[in-house]
């Protein structure tokens, strides 16, 4: 579904690389977590998938087609994107925020309204109570739920999530992590999820790709990584006491 082959990205003409020689696949219906510290290339990789940033070298394919062969706007409308800053438009109601992409795609008013009601119910914000509110009337957790609903509005096959819960308090974050697991099982989307949090990666990922200094240290299930670390960096990263939930 998503395939990266020997991808590089430099912002300074090759003096340094934000992403270097990165190859990985994301299978249909899988949640792949990109795990690593700040500056390791996670967000850059995510942005290259939907051409917010273009690779310096290498090939990125979505549904078997090089992303550079897509019209960039059309590509982005096929991929839901959720990020930490949420990015809701403050002057628009919740309904108007969620319907942006369906409106751009020319959906009828009735189809948009039905989709909004379906999605707001799905994320626990019934349209009757929330559709006409504005973002500043919602809590941070509620705004992030709206961000997820907006990303799903046009029923994309892919969902890119860039540390979506990182700015939330611990209790709200844990709640939304559990809700994402439920949504994942219901919707069967292909998800690439960026985080620097080990526990979040272990909870949400079908597989985990560990990035360091722009390169891939290891990719595999949590069992693979915990029991067969591929590098000393991975071994050191997971050398802390393992919570029971990881096992």
pLDDT, one tens digit for every residue, the chain (247 residues):
899 999 999 999 999 999 999 999 999 999 999 999 888 999 999 999 999 999 999 999 999 999 999 999 889 888 999 887 667 899 999 999 999 989 988 999 999 999 999 999 988 999 999 999 999 999 988 998 899 999 999 889 899 999 988 777 888 888 888 888 888 888 888 999 999 999 999 999 999 999 999 999 999 999 999 999 999 999 998 886 454 444 4
- What are the strands, taking DSSP E only, across 183-242? 190-195, 207-212, 215-220
> Residue 2 forms beta bridges with which residues?
26, 62
Q: How far is CA 223 from CA 16, 100, 242, 247, in A?
A: 33, 40, 12, 8
The pairing of beta strand 57-62 with beta strand 158-162: unpaired
Same-domain pairing of 214 and 233: yes
Same-domain pairing of 176 and 57: yes
Same-domain pairing of 169 and 247: yes
Q: Which residues contact 115 (CB under 8 A, 6 or more apart)?
A: 98, 99, 102, 107, 153
Q: Can you read off the two tokens belonging to residue 182?
A: 């439920």
* Residue 11, pLDDT score: 95
For the chain, the domain total comes to 2
The last residue of one of the domains, among 103, 131, 156, is 156
Domain that holds residue 133: 79-156
Same-domain pairing of 183 and 73: yes
Same-domain pairing of 170 and 73: yes
Of 161, 142, 159, 151, give the one whose Cα is nearest residue 99. 151
In the block, residue with structure tokens 């949400």:
204
The last residue of one of the domains, among 117, 134, 156, is 156
Same-domain pairing of 72 and 175: yes
Size of the chain, expressed as the number of residues it contains: 247
DSSP per-residue codes, 25-45: EE-TT-EEEEE--TTSSHHHH
The last residue of one of the domains, among 122, 156, 190, is 156
Of 75, 23, 28, 67, give the one whose Cα is nearest residue 214. 23
SS3 53: coil
Same-domain pairing of 69 and 11: yes
Same-domain pairing of 173 and 247: yes
**Chain centre to alpha carbon of residue 186:** 17
Residue 26 parent element (H or E): strand 19-26
């Amino acid at each position: 579904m998503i395939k990266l082959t020997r991808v590089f990205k430099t912002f300074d003409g090759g003096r340094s690389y934000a992403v270097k020689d990165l190859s990985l696949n994301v299978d249909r219906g899988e949640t792949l977590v990109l795990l690593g510290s700040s500056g390791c290339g996670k967000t850059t990789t995510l942005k290259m998938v939907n051409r917010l940033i273009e690779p310096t070298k290498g090939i990125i394919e979505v549904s078997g087609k090089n992303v550079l062969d897509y019209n960039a706007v059309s590509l982005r409308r096929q991929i839901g994107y959720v990020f930490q800053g949420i990015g809701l438009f403050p002057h628009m109601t919740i309904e108007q925020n969620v319907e942006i992409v369906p409106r751009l795609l020319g959906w009828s008013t009735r189809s948009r309204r039905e989709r909004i009601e379906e999605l707001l119910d799905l994320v626990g914000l019934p349209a009757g109570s929330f559709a006409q509110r504005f973002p500043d009337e919602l809590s941070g957790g509620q705004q992030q739920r709206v961000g997820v609903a907006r990303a799903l509005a046009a029923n994309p096959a892919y969902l890119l999530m860039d540390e979506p819960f990182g700015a939330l308090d611990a209790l709200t974050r844990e709640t939304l992590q559990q809700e994402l697991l439920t949504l994942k099982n219901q919707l069967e989307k292909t998800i690439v999820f960026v985080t620097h949090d080990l526990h979040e990666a272990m909870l949400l990922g079908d597989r985990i790709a560990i990035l360091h200094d722009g390169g891939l240290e290891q990719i595999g299930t949590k069992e693979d990584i915990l029991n067969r670390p591929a590098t000393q960096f991975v071994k050191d990263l997971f050398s802390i006491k393992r919570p029971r939930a990881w096992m």
